Structure 1
């Protein structure tokens, strides 16, 4: 049944079935091993295989190409639940699905037929290769260069902080095809780049948190790629990248809700178990005030994510809504993780407690998919555009 023929009741039932499946998967296959895998910084190969079986690598890919065809609103709820158990595995599918989303919106039918079914099964997995050693926020400053050579392009340069860089096999690769173009984004082009001769991984990047998922540097040395792998025309690379970032920001916002909820849950549980001065610590006003702020932040963040997801469901431009959701939800995650650690006291600093991992994971959310400072600029710009005088 395609989404266009679904009633609201059909969609609600589909969502319930999907979320039930995800929750069973998390409880059986992720929660029991997350602590050890995360502390060992070990790639969760068995979990990835389970995710393939569940169809999560095709979560938002249209059904006609073998995906689940989930609406962004349902996808956001899936990510919230995953992030609440172990945030790293949500990143394994997020970057991959941004690549698929870009192809779905901008690729040719031949490209979709060739790649999307393999993306949906997880046969081909990968992500988004944008950031370079000397540029992240200012994407127009990238220097990786693609030169046309007959029916191919030859690419030289490097990318860094690329999720799925080691275990992934295909990436939406943003390059320059004209270093002199003005404005600079007119010289940017995007390709679907599969690993092969000239495309290597130089090293795995060690991180404070967000462990388990492989973040890597990619190197391109005379890497030859067919022109048929170009997404859109030359000069449309920046537009392709931006088209995928709304889904990416929704994902990171949903992760923020998941981490904020997990930190709250840990704090609520511990505050009832821990006693001081003859009573559980939640009865102390200092702790009670923290709990009230934490649950309020979490619920507000969830509502912002739902609003942004609903706009994306309708196919509307939603950088304003997604920006607000990403900004607020990720800050909520950071604040809740910090407050939960403080409620736990010394135990919160122990690696034996989940809150220690949440405290290390949360800061990434305020940086990834555009820093929260950039989100504020985007929000303000759209606010003025919507309210001219």
Structure 2
């Protein structure tokens, strides 16, 4: 990678060195092939778990790494730079662990987190539905009381790891229809629960190695002790998880953009036209300068938001800003990288076109960038009404 790290501790430096070694040895050599074949790298996630990388921001008492988000996100970035399916998969798994870690009982944490953080269990996060994507509070999946627990009926859409996850962190309506976010609860549902089934994976323009599928619940019975948090608390849990998840997507976007920038810079030094390296021409040099500036600005914004989170400060708006800037930057930088590589960039012989296809989804997942603008705009309005704008 072309950028210099500034890490808070020597331990963090050693951790990032370990991650780069795994990424270079285990991810980079197979990313293009497995994406071409649509092969899900379950073995990689087991390796990450056994290397202590699946639970970095969570408590050591349950097998986590107890690392600050500032460090965890840089791990996500480095993995995504080599293979987005793995970097994003780590982010989604971390998101799926959040409700148990933050809202679970002591018994639930002790029973569930060690395998979730150790790589034996891979998670998925079931919030979106076909008709309630950005408007998650309008979900229709129901969890009705039944046999000292719940009977779940409904379907979730666009679920990363759908069909390959070992458990689903599910948000379902336990209140009456029309109760909005107040009637939603969070359930931990093992994938082998009778009545739980995933559809065939979606046929996507990128990230073929990361299955995205609808997950259906047909009278799936979930014991009451697998509800996470209080009944009706689920929507608040989901929103709290998404604030952190958006930082994971921002880090993924910076990783993809950095990989594209590195590819473009390397090509610009070896490709010669009119007797000179094309990187010596102002048109290319200025394009690369703008790409590098955008990547670094996005990185610093997600790190600043992560430091707020680590300090216990409100960070939701900053997470939305980071996700917005980083993913828009990734789309622009990957597009420009293909342009720098010219005809070669449009072929599958080089990774630039794959990075461009992958970047697009990051503007959509964890809340579209239009939703991020809504979050930021509403915060500006609240601040102005309270007379604290600019504080």
- What range describes the TM-score normalised by the shorter chain of this pair? over 0.9
CA distance in 1, matches of 2:371, 2:15: 33
Residue correspondence of structure 1 range 156-175 to structure 2 within 5 A: 156-175=153-172
1:147 — aligned with what? 144
Q: Deviations over 1:42-84 (max 9, x none)?
A: 1113322321221222222210111111211001100111111
1:309 — aligned with what? 306
Q: Deviations over 1:344-368 (max 9, x none)?
A: 0110011010101101000011111
1:189 aligned residue (159, 167, 185):
185
Could you tell me whether the CA contact under 8 Å between 2:163 and 2:197 is conserved in 1? no
1:323 — aligned with what? 320
2:3 — aligned with what? none
1:259 aligned residue (230, 248, 256):
256
CA distance in 2, matches of 1:370, 1:57: 23
SS in 2 for 1:358: helix
Cα deviation for residue 26 of structure 1 reads: 0.8
Q: Please report the TM-score for the alignment, with normalisation by the length of structure 2.
A: 0.94
1:380 and 2:367 aligned: no
Deviates more, 1:271-280 or 1:336-345: 271-280
Residue correspondence of structure 1 range 199-238 to structure 2 within 5 A: 199-238=196-235
SS in 2 for 1:58: coil
CA distance in 2, matches of 1:150, 1:316: 42
Deviates more, 1:159-168 or 1:249-258: 159-168
Could you tell me whether the CA contact under 8 Å between 2:47 and 2:119 is conserved in 1? no
1:102 and 2:99 aligned: yes
Deviates more, 1:18-27 or 1:38-47: 38-47
Superposed CA RMSD:
1.5
CA distance in 2, matches of 1:101, 1:165: 18
Cα deviation for residue 181 of structure 1 reads: 4.5
Residue ranges of structure 2 left out of the alignment (5+ in a row): 1-5
1:3 — aligned with what? none
CA distance in 1, matches of 2:88, 2:7: 28
Residue ranges of structure 1 left out of the alignment (5+ in a row): 1-8
CA distance in 2, matches of 1:166, 1:69: 29
Q: Deviations over 1:307-355 (max 9, x none)?
A: 0110111122211111111100111100000000001011001101010
CA distance in 2, matches of 1:47, 1:187: 38
CA distance in 1, matches of 2:304, 2:365: 21
Q: Please report the TM-score for the alignment, with normalisation by the length of structure 1.
A: 0.95
2:56 — aligned with what? 59
